[in-house]
Amino acid sequence: MAPTHPARPTGPTGNPAAGAHLPCTIRPACLADAPHLPALERDAAQAFATIPGLAWLAGGDVLPLAEHTASIAAQACWVAASAAGPLLGFVTARPYGPDLHIQEMSVTRAAQGQGLGRRLLHAVCIEAQKRGLLRVTLTTFVNVPWNAPFYASAGFCHVPPAALDARLASILAHEHATGLAAIPRCAMQYAVPATAEYVSK
């Protein structure tokens, strides 16, 4: 994958209700968390193993450690930590002008389907609101259930090809060139409200 790894949230995280019952805390990541995140992503990526055309992602590259540490330094990385201590998920983002761009969101196989992805996404959108940013953006698979359909359920909208800015267009072009063209991908955005609370809390 590219040094600036495209966002491809791993694991079926779109259950909006179950996460409230999972004993874990969503908190900003610290540098001590960073070495654990690549292995967590590899575990989460096994969800792709049964999807035709995408099974290779189960053993593919993950977001480099340097990207996580840069995101943590930018105060744009959050983790889901269980009550016992182990990390169950993370979301890594980077600020780009008026946008906060999600590079990767992953949830361990053991915790998938319990709402953690939605809770992590909520943390990103609330932080974007606090910073006065305009959008949260990402690129993702159009038809994978825990990708674009999940984000749509959380208030994100597809960005039409004609409306892509140079940054998002470049990310999609790079993804296509590096083998992510087997299944259609798209860019999505969440328009950050000035005062209203994020809709998917």
Check residue 11 and give its pLDDT: 41
At 106, which amino acid appears? Answer: S
At 167, which amino acid appears? Answer: R
pLDDT > 60? residue 6:
no
CA 85 from chain centre, in angstroms, equals 22
74 vs 176: which has the higher pLDDT: 74
Check residue 129 and give its pLDDT: 96
Q: At what angle do helices 37-44 and 65-73 cross, to 10 degrees?
A: 120
Instruction: Look at 6-20, 25-39, 99-113, 155-169 and tell me which has the smallest mean pLDDT.
Output: 6-20
176 vs 120: which has the higher pLDDT: 120
Alpha carbon distance 127, 138 (integer Å): 15
pTM, two decimals, is 0.85
When pLDDT is cut at 50, 70 and 90, the band that residue 85 belongs to is: confident
68 vs 9: which has the higher pLDDT: 68
18-191 adopts what CATH topology?
Aminopeptidase (3.40.630)
Instruction: Look at 21-30, 114-123, 146-155, 185-194 and tell me which has the smallest mean pLDDT.
Output: 21-30
Taking residues 113-132, what's their average pLDDT? 95
Cα–Cα separations (whole angstroms), residue 125 to 23, 119, 176, 196, 199? 22, 10, 27, 11, 10
Average pLDDT of the residues of the chain: 87
Scan for tokens 């992503």, then name that residue: 41
